[in-house]
Amino acid sequence: MSSSLFKVTLTLAALLVGRAAYAQSSDEDLLGGFDKPAATPAAPTPKKATPPASKPAEAPAKPAPASTPTPASPPAPATPASAPAEATPPPAPAAVEPSPAAKVEENPAALDRIKAVPKKPLLKVHRFELTPMASLSLNDAYYQHYAVGGTAIYYPHDAFGIGLGIDYLYQHTKRNAVDEVRASLTSVPAVFEAPKMFAHLDVYWVPLYGKFSLFNTAIIPFDVYATAGGGAATAFSNGRWMPAANAGIGTRLGIADWLALRVEVRNHFFLDTQQVDTIERSDVQNYVMAQIGLSFFIPPTFEYSF
């Protein structure tokens, strides 16, 4: 009986020793050898073993997650990029245009500087206009009159001027109608002297100006003016000066800042005394003259101002 108990006791003791050895080996496996300081200094073991190679591989693997956020971060700037795109429409040209209007509202005097009509290409204000002209008569059925002359005009305002003019009639050419009338004895010859010169003081009014395209190659500015004045007419031979007046209309075609082509029709009328069959008669004579000339402006340049 005692021997069987002794065997059982030995068997239990062997089982307990084996259990303790198994528990110690399993603990060492779990701890991975951390409780053994002698295993760490062995250099060959970390070089050959895979864990040291896996640890450097894990080090680059750590930047990989860092690199993954970096591509993920660009979408974040993409959202601000769309925000500026939405902010750009306000500073568009349509939004900038109201700014001049705002400035005008702030300064009402600026309204006087805004012109609905384009600038005049040729200004006359405070300038002299000197125009040599040649002319011929239009209304005399019996004589063709030729004249040369000129005008000097000063413009205190761009639309108004005052000037002096002289027309010298250097030739009176007889037409065929004179011989026809005399041959038919339908008129009584009169003794008279044709005028040789008209001298006059005139005012000028320029109500219209504009521009037109010449053969679609050049833009020509022009203005239209009216003139009227008074003066005297003389034939020189008799020494008499007869009171005279005139009225006309004309246009200027701008060539340069200092040059223009001027075309005009002017009617000179005066009181003349004629002798018909020894009877002296007074009558109003009128000479309608077509004139053309070149206008020179002094000073030759001007400064445009509102």
pLDDT tens, position by position, 93-139: 555 555 655 665 566 555 555 555 567 778 899 999 999 999 999 99
Structure tokens at 50: 């895979």
Do residues 147 and 223 share a domain? yes
90 φ, ψ to 5°? -60, -45
d(CA 69, CA 127): 80
Domain assignment present for 238:
yes
Do residues 162 and 261 share a domain? yes
Domain assignment present for 304:
no
Domain assignment present for 204:
yes
d(CA 245, CA 155): 21
Do residues 264 and 152 share a domain? yes
Do residues 91 and 58 share a domain? no
Average pLDDT over residues 276-292: 82
Peptide bond before residue 299 is cis, with ω within 30 degrees of 0: yes
Do residues 160 and 233 share a domain? yes
Do residues 88 and 55 share a domain? no
Domain assignment present for 141:
yes
**Residue 126: per-residue pLDDT:** 93
pLDDT greater than 60 at residue 8: yes
Domain assignment present for 9:
yes
Residue range of the domain that includes 24: 2-66
Do residues 88 and 132 share a domain? no
Largest CA distance in the chain: 204
Amino acid at 153: I
pLDDT greater than 60 at residue 38: no
Domain assignment present for 246:
yes
**Residue 135: per-residue pLDDT:** 97
Do residues 205 and 176 share a domain? yes
**Residue 131: per-residue pLDDT:** 97
First to last CA, the chain: 142
Average pLDDT over residues 6-25: 61
**Residue 33: per-residue pLDDT:** 47
- Greater confidence (29 vs 138) lies with 138
Give me the number of domains the chain comprises: 3
**Residue 211: per-residue pLDDT:** 87
Contact by Cβ (8 Å): 224, 209:
yes
pLDDT greater than 50 at residue 34: no
CB atoms near residue 153 (< 10 Å) = 22
Which residues make beta-bridge pairs with 282?
273
**Residue 238: per-residue pLDDT:** 74
**Long-range CB contact pairs, 151-156, < 8 A, 24+:** 151/202, 152/128, 153/128, 153/129, 153/202, 153/204, 154/127, 154/128, 154/129, 155/124, 155/125, 155/126, 155/127, 155/128, 155/129, 155/204, 156/125, 156/126
Do residues 56 and 144 share a domain? no
Which of helix, strand or coil describes residue 229?
strand
CATH number of 292's domain: 2.40.160.20
Do residues 145 and 203 share a domain? yes
Domain assignment present for 306:
no
Average pLDDT over residues 144-171: 96
Which residues make beta-bridge pairs with 275?
191, 280
pLDDT greater than 50 at residue 41: no
